[in-house]
Amino acid sequence: MKSFYVKTFGCQMNENDSERIVAVLRRQGMTPALSADVADVVVFNTCTIRENADNRFFGQVNMLRERRVREPGMRIVVAGCLAQGEKDAIFDRAPHVDVVVGTHAIGSIADLLERSDEERHVIDVSTGDGSIDPMVDLVPEPAEGHKAWVTIQTGCDNNCAFCIVPQVRGPEVSRPFGAIVDEVRRLAEQGISEVTLLGQNVNSYGRDLTKRLRRTSDGIHDHGFLAGPVYVSDGIRRIRPLFSDLLRAVSGVDGIRRVRFTSPHPKDMREETFAAMAESPAVCESLHFPLQSGSDRVLAAMHRGYRGERFFEKLELARSIIPDLAVTTDIIVGFPGETEDEFEATLELVARCEFDSAFTFIYSPRPGTEAGAWTDKFVDPEVIRDRFERLKLVTERSGAAKHRARVGKIEEILIDGPSKRDANVASGRTRQNKLVHLAGVDGERLRGSYLNARIVDAGAHFLHGELLGPPARGAHASC
Ligand code: SAH
Ligand code: SF4
Ligand code: F3S
C-alpha cells in the first residue's frame, strides 16, 4: 500500500483543492504519511501569487532531489497555480519532478501517476470541459472535524493589473446553487458546524449560471439545482441567484452555526449582501474587504473599479447594517508608479478605515500580468521597505485598539484544539474570527465545542479568555 503527503502553499482555495487531492489519492487505496521525507508520493499544491511563493516551493521540492534519485519508486507531483502557469519552468528548475497537474485537472492525478511508470515528465494542464460542476465527483475530505471550506466559484473574470490568478485559475465559474447547499448539508451531517464559502469574487456568484442554464442541452432541467430560485428566501424568482441568496440558504442548513466567506470584491459588494449577513444568525460578524490602495490614481491603474471614498462608504454601510462587525483587508505597497503622496493617501485611508487586521504585501511583478511589464515604473525596493514598515504601524495601531475593545466582553468561542505552544491551553475563534487562548482548558477534549468566555486580556495577535461554561443551545450571539 502506497503512502502520500500533500504540502499546500497559497490561499484557502488551494487548501480546499488539497482536500480534493487527498480524497482522490485515498480512493486509490493510498494512506497519508507523516511527512514528505517518508511518503511514496509527495504532492506540492503550489501558489504563484508572489515571487516568494514560487521560491518557497522550489526550495522545498529541491530538498527531495536526492531522495527521488535514490528511490526510483517514489513520485513527486506538482499541482496548483504555479503548475498551471509555469509547467516548463518546473521541469527546468526541478527535473526530478514526475507529474505536473494544473488547477482544472486534479481529478486525473491517479491516471497521471500511473502514466508516470512508463513516461518521464507527465503533464496535464488542460482547462476543463466547461462541465456544469467542475468539482463534481471530487468531494473534499475536510482536514478538521468541525469546520470546512466550501468552494462556491472557481476562477476570476476581473483583470487587476497586478494579479496572476485569472491566468492560472481561468474564467469565473459558479458551482450550481443546489450542489453547494447539498455539500453543506452533507458536511453538517458529518458534524461540521462552521463553513467558509470560497471564491475569488464571491459576490459575483451566479453571474454565469443563467447563461449556462440557457446553453444546457444535457438534460439538466432542475433550475433549482443549477440556478437556485427555489432557495430564494424572499419568494422572488430572480433571473440568477445572488450571493445573498446563497448566504441565506447555507446559513439555514440544520447544524450549521457559523458561516464565513472570502473574498468579496469591494466594487461588486452590495447592500443586499450586508442585509443577508445581518439577517442570517449563522453568518459571522466578520468581513474581508480588500482595499489594495488608498490612492484613486493607483486604484484606477490597478483596474479595481472603485475609488477610495466609495470603498469607505461601503465599509461604513456594512458597519451600520451589521452590528459589531470585524473587518480585515489586503494592501499592496509599491505598485508600479506609486508616489510618496499616493502612498500617504493609502496611510490616511487605512487609518480612517480602522481595520481589525490587514494583510500587507510588497508588490511582486508576475510574468504575463499587465503591471509586470511596467518595468520602468517599478519602485525602488528600499523605498518600498520603508513604506511597508510605516503602513504596518498604522494597521497594527487599529488592530491593537480593536483587540483591546474586546476586553471585558463575553464571546462565543469555537474550540479548535490545544494551542500549538501549550497543551494546557485551548485555542479557538470568536465569531469575529479573532484567535482566543483559554488557559487550563482541555482543547483536545473540547475540539469543535462552542463555549462562552470572558475576554480578560488582549495581545497583538490573540486574546486571552476565561471560560464561563457552555452557551445556551442554539445561541449564536456573542452578547
Ligand atoms: N480575489 C482576491 C485576491 C486573491 S490574491 C481578492 O480580490 O481579494 C490575495 C491578495 O494578494 C490580493 O488581495 C492582493 O493584495 C495580493 N496580491 C495579488 N497579486 C499580488 C502581487 N503581484 N504582488 C503583491 N501582492 C499581490
Ligand atoms: Fe486577482 Fe483581482 Fe481576481 Fe482578486 S479580483 S483574484 S485580485 S484579478
Ligand atoms: Fe495562490 Fe492560486 Fe490562491 S496563485 S493565492 S494559490 S488562487
CATH number at residue 453: 2.40.50.140
How do 194-198 and 258-262 pair as beta strands?
parallel
Bridge partners, residue 260, by sequence: 196
For residue 277, the 8-state DSSP code is H
Please give the model's pTM, rounded to 2 decimal places.
0.94
Using alpha carbons only, how large is the chain's radius of gyration in Å? 23
Return the ligand 3 atom nearest residue 53 CA: 1
Q: How far is CA 345 from CA 56, 331, 340, 341, 354, in A?
A: 33, 12, 9, 6, 14
Domain membership flag for residue 120: yes
**Minimum CA distance residue for ligand 1 atom 14:** 330
In the listed set 235, 251, 283, which residue is the last one of a domain according to the structure?
283
Per-residue pLDDT at 216: 58
Q: 253 with 364, same domain? A: no
Domain membership flag for residue 136: no
In the listed set 382, 401, 420, which residue is the last one of a domain according to the structure?
401
Count, residues in the chain: 479
Return the ligand 1 atom nearest residue 164 CA: 19
Per-residue pLDDT at 348: 98
Ligand 2 pocket, residue 398 CB under 6 Å = no
Domains of the chain: total: 4
Q: How far is CA 105 from CA 84, 132, 138, 456, in A?
A: 10, 15, 11, 48
Domain CATH for 294: 3.30.750.200
Domain membership flag for residue 340: yes
CB atoms within 10 A of CB 441: 23
Burial of 54 from C-beta contacts in 10 A (0-12 / 13-18 / 19+): buried
Return the ligand 3 atom nearest residue 13 CA: 3
Per-residue pLDDT at 132: 66
Q: How far is CA 239 from the centre of its chain?
A: 28
Q: 266 with 157, same domain? A: yes
Distance 200 CA to ligand 1 centre (A): 10
**Minimum CA distance residue for ligand 2 atom 1:** 163
Return the ligand 2 atom nearest residue 164 CA: 1
163 is in an annotated binding site: yes
Ligand 3 pocket, residue 14 CB under 6 Å = yes
Distance 241 CA to ligand 2 centre (A): 22
DSSP string computed for 41-104 = EEEEEE--SSHHHHHHHHHHHHTTHHHHHH-TT-EEEEEEHHHHH-HHHHHHH-TT--EEE-TT
Ligand 3 pocket, residue 10 CB under 6 Å = yes
How do 410-418 and 357-362 pair as beta strands?
unpaired
Phi, psi of 198 (to 5 degrees): -115, 140
In the listed set 371, 401, 431, which residue is the last one of a domain according to the structure?
401
Q: 357 with 368, same domain? A: yes
Q: pLDDT tens string for the chain (479 positions)?
A: 899 999 999 999 999 999 999 999 999 999 999 999 999 999 999 999 999 999 999 999 999 999 999 999 999 999 999 999 999 999 999 999 999 999 999 999 999 999 999 999 999 999 876 666 777 778 888 888 899 999 999 999 999 999 999 999 999 999 989 889 999 999 999 999 999 999 999 999 988 887 766 665 555 556 667 777 655 556 666 667 899 999 999 999 999 999 999 999 999 999 999 999 999 999 999 999 999 999 999 999 999 999 999 999 999 999 999 999 999 999 999 999 999 999 999 999 999 999 999 999 999 999 999 999 999 999 999 999 999 999 999 999 999 999 999 999 999 999 999 999 999 999 999 999 999 999 999 999 999 999 999 999 998 889 999 999 654 444 443 32
Burial of 454 from C-beta contacts in 10 A (0-12 / 13-18 / 19+): middle
Grid coordinates given for 48: 504563484
Ligand 3 pocket, residue 334 CB under 6 Å = no
Domain CATH for 259: 3.30.750.210
Residue ranges around ligand 1 (CB below 6 Å): 49-50, 162-163, 165, 200-201, 263, 265, 290, 292, 330, 332, 361, 363-364, 366
Q: 351 with 239, same domain? A: no
Ligand 2 pocket, residue 201 CB under 6 Å = yes
284 is in an annotated binding site: no
Q: 148 with 270, same domain? A: yes
Q: 289 with 274, same domain? A: no
156 is in an annotated binding site: yes
Q: 352 with 425, same domain? A: no
Domain membership flag for residue 133: no
Q: 213 with 261, same domain? A: yes
Q: 276 with 291, same domain? A: no
Distance 391 CA to ligand 3 centre (A): 24
**Minimum CA distance residue for ligand 1 atom 2:** 200
Domain membership flag for residue 366: yes
353 is in an annotated binding site: no
Domain membership flag for residue 129: no
Distance 477 CA to ligand 1 centre (A): 32
Task: Using alpha carbons, select from 174, 128, 133 the residue that is nearest to residue 153.
Answer: 174
Return the ligand 2 atom nearest residue 166 CA: 8
Ligand 3 pocket, residue 11 CB under 6 Å = yes
Grid coordinates given for 321: 447594517
CA-to-CA distance for 251 and 254, rounded, in angstroms? 8
Distance 170 CA to ligand 3 centre (A): 12
Per-residue pLDDT at 225: 75
Domain membership flag for residue 137: no
Return the ligand 2 atom nearest residue 201 CA: 5
Q: Which domain holds residue 383?
A: 285-401
Domain membership flag for residue 381: yes
Distance 359 CA to ligand 1 centre (A): 10
SS3 428: strand
Q: 255 with 317, same domain? A: no
Ligand 3 pocket, residue 169 CB under 6 Å = yes
Residue among 153, 154, 158 whose CB has most ligand 2 atoms within 8 A, to mutate:
158
Q: 146 with 257, same domain? A: yes
Q: 157 with 246, same domain? A: yes
For residue 376, the 8-state DSSP code is G
Domain CATH for 58: 3.40.50.12160
Return the ligand 2 atom nearest residue 304 CA: 2
